[in-house]
Amino acid sequence: MQETKKKPGLREQNKEEKLRRIKEAALDLFVSKGFDDTTTREIASKAGVGMGTVFVYAETKRDLLFLIVNDGLEECVAEASAAIRPEDSLLQNLLSVLRLHYEYFARVPVLSRAALREMYFYQSGKQAERFNRTRDKLKLLLTRLISEAMEKGLVSSTESPQIVAQAIFAIYQVDLRMWLSAESLDIVAGLDRLRRQIDVVMRGLSPDPAVFRLDA
């Protein structure tokens, strides 16, 4: 027998409505005025709620930014996991996962640029734990792809899957910022440049032993 989903009570509906208004107000002001020039008080006023209500969900303006961004990033990771296909190559699956993130950040570039800037050293705040958890899920997804390819003998490395995945993740983070800094965002061109950099990691540089010499 299928259970009937219980409808949220009036109090819960009221909370959800206030949260929706806060998110919409923050998004509108961050886009129209810019993140730096928007104040938390303006967001509360536009949402029609008190400052205390805003602080229930976000301790700072940066928290308010990630209150919006976290929704999209969580969706990206969920969709990325579903986009992986066993019959596709490792490179194809890596690009399928990361393409969803390029597409997400391209939706509202002005918001994305602010979010990428504010991501650095984002460790405290009501939304920080949620953001870091989602970022870790993406890293785990990349690690899983590398690990499975290693287990099948498709790639090999003296380093662990975690280190290889971290190298790819680092390339993605840096190149995403470079790509978003352009006036016109061409996803195809951006992903092609990302592909070439991942290709370097996967193929290696066929190094002569001399290139690894470190002077004491």
Residue 21 belongs to a domain: yes
Question: 83-92, 134-143, 146-155, 198-207: which has the minimum mean pLDDT?
Answer: 198-207
Q: Stretch 37-55: mean pLDDT, rounded?
A: 94
Q: Stretch 60-67: mean pLDDT, rounded?
A: 91
127 and 108 in a common domain: yes
Residue 193 belongs to a domain: yes
pLDDT in tens, 64-76: 999 999 999 999 9
Residue 174 belongs to a domain: yes
3-state SS, one letter per residue, for the chain: CCCCCCCCCHHHHHHHHHHHHHHHHHHHHHHHCCCCCCCHHHHHHHHCCCHHHHHHHCCCHHHHHHHHHHHHHHHHHHHHHHHCCCCCCHHHHHHHHHHHHHHHHHHCHHHHHHHHHHCCCCCCCCCHHHHHHHHHHHHHHHHHHHHHHHHCCCCCCCCCHHHHHHHHHHHHHHHHHHHHCCCCCCHHHHHHHHHHHHHHHHHCCCCCHHHHCCCC
Instruction: Give the C-alpha separation, 97 to 78, whole Å.
Output: 10
Residue 5 belongs to a domain: no
pLDDT at 167 > cutoff 60: yes
Q: Stretch 71-93: mean pLDDT, rounded?
A: 93
pLDDT value at position 5? 60
93 and 51 in a common domain: no
125 and 33 in a common domain: no
Instruction: Give the C-alpha separation, 96 to 83, whole Å.
Output: 7
183 and 165 in a common domain: yes
82 and 33 in a common domain: no
Residue with more model confidence, 121 or 156: 156
Residue 214 belongs to a domain: no
pLDDT value at position 110? 92
pLDDT at 3 > cutoff 60: no
165 and 88 in a common domain: yes
Q: Report the CATH number that the domain containing residue 47 is assigned in CATH.
A: 1.10.10.60
Residue 195 belongs to a domain: yes
User: Domain range spanning residue 26?
Assistant: 13-57
117 and 93 in a common domain: yes
pLDDT at 38 > cutoff 80: yes
Residue 209 belongs to a domain: no
The domain total for the chain is 2
Q: Stretch 79-83: mean pLDDT, rounded?
A: 93
Q: Stretch 54-69: mean pLDDT, rounded?
A: 91
118 and 24 in a common domain: no
pLDDT value at position 1? 47
Residue 94 belongs to a domain: yes
99 and 174 in a common domain: yes
pLDDT at 174 > cutoff 80: yes
179 and 98 in a common domain: yes
* Residue indicated by tokens 């790509």: 179
In angstroms, what CA-CA distances link 78 with 24, 137, 190?
23, 9, 22
Share of the chain above pLDDT 90, in %: 75
Provide the b/e sequence for 167-206 (b: ≥16 CB within 10 Å).
Answer: bbbebbeebbeebbeeeebeeeebbeebeeebeeebeeee
Q: Report the CATH number that the domain containing residue 114 is assigned in CATH.
A: 1.10.357.10
73 and 126 in a common domain: yes
Q: Stretch 159-183: mean pLDDT, rounded?
A: 95
Question: 39-48, 123-132, 156-165: which has the minimum mean pLDDT?
Answer: 123-132
pLDDT in tens, 114-146: 999 988 877 778 888 889 999 999 999 999 999
49 and 70 in a common domain: no
Residue 86's nearest CA partner among 21, 172, 151 is 151
Give residue 193's pLDDT band: very low, low, confident or very high (50, 70, 90).
Answer: very high
